[in-house]
Structure 1
Amino acid sequence: MSMENDNNVNENSVEDIILRYRPELAKITPYLNWLKENVKVEVAQTYSNSELKSIPFPVYDSNLLGFVKAAQTTNLLDRNYVYVYSENHLRNYKDELLFIQEAGITDMDALAGILSSYILRGMVKGSVWSEGVATGVLYQVVKKMDELIKFWGQDNLSRQ
C-alpha cells in the first residue's frame, strides 16, 4: 500500500494504522448498508439480445458500481494481494470469511488485500464483484475494517 506515514508515529503502530486507514475507509463505508442488504442477492444480470448475434455482457447494480469506483479511489488497493492469500492460506470465500472474523488491527493490510482481490479481479472478470457481494465477503471485510478503526481509534480521538 502506498499510504505515507507521518514521522510522529512508529510505522505499523496502532496509531499509524488508524491514521492511514481512517480516511480511506470513509470513502467506502457509506456502502455498508447496501452491501449488507444484498448479501445472497444477485446484483448483476446478463444482458443479451436474442434477435441479434451479440456477446452477452453483465449489467451491474448502480450501487455496486459506485462502491467499486469509490474503492478504486482509495489507497486500499494493492496489486500484491496474492501474497495475502498465500501467507494466510486463503483458498475460497469460506477461508476469507473465517480470516475476516478473526482479524485484528494488525491484520488491516491483509484485510485490504482481500478487498483488493475482489476489486482488481472484478476489473478483469465481471462476475467477481457480484460474487463478493453475494457471498458477503465485501460486506464483512469493509465492516471489520471499519469496526477495528472505530474501536482502536477511540483513544486516538480523545488525545487529539
Structure 2
Amino acid sequence: MKHYIENLCHTLHASFYRAEIEKLSKFLPYFETATMESVCKWTPAEKTGEKQVITPYPTYDKSLLGFIDEIYSSNFMYTDYMSTIQDLDGDLNIAIETADLDLLRAILTYYVRAERFSDGAWAMAVEEKVFLKILRRLKEINKVE
C-alpha cells in the first residue's frame, strides 16, 4: 500500500509539470544542432572614455533567449536549487542522466541563473550539451509518468 501511495504522489507531482515539459521539449531540435558559435556572438570591449571600458559581453540568438524566457515564464524554476545540487558528488552534467524531476529542475535553474554571475555561461552549457541532455531526460521522465 505504501508503495502504491508513493507512486501515486510521484505521478501527481510530475503531472503538475507536464505542460511545462511539453513546452520546453519544442526546443529539442534547436539544441540538437546548436553550438557555442551558433548561439552566441561576443560584443568586443569598447573604450568609452579615458578611464572607462565596456568589457566584452555575449549576445545570444533569439531561439536561446526564447528557451530561457520559456523557463522564466513557467513555474519550472526551482527556488532551492543550490541546496539540492550541493549534495551531489561530482559533475552536474553527469547527474542529468539519472536525475529525477526535482533534481532536473534544480540543475536547469542552476544553469539558467549562472549567466547572471558569469557571462557566457549559457554558451558553455550549449557547448557541453547540458540543455539538450536536460530536455532529453525530461522527455524520458514525461513518457514514464
Q: TM-score normalized by structure 2?
A: 0.80
Q: Structure 1: which 4+ aligned runs deviate by more than 6 Å?
A: 9-12
Q: 2:27 aligns with which of 31, 43, 46?
A: 31
Query: What's the CA shift string for 1:54-100, capped at 9, x where partnerless?
Result: 5122111111111100111111112321112212224xxxx223211
Instruction: Map 1:46-125 to 2 at 5 A.
Output: 46-48=42-44, 54-55=53-54, 56-90=56-90, 95-103=91-99, 107-125=100-118
Q: What does residue 41 of structure 1 align with?
A: 36
Q: What does residue 17 of structure 1 align with?
A: 13
Q: How many residues align?
A: 136
Instruction: Work out the percentage of aligned pairs sharing the same amino acid.
Output: 24
Aligned Cα RMSD in Å?
2.3
SS at match of 1:64: helix
> Hey, which of these two has a bigger chunk of strand by percent?
2
Q: Which runs of 5+ in 2 are unaligned?
A: none
Q: TM-score normalized by structure 1?
A: 0.74
Matches of 1:32 and 1:64, distance apart in 2: 11
Q: Which runs of 5+ in 1 are unaligned?
A: 1-8, 153-160
Matches of 2:14 and 2:78, distance apart in 1: 18
Matches of 1:59 and 1:131, distance apart in 2: 13
Preserved contact between residue 44 and residue 58 of structure 1 (Cα < 8 Å): yes
Shift in CA distance, 142/49, structure 1 to aligned 2, threshold 3 Å: same
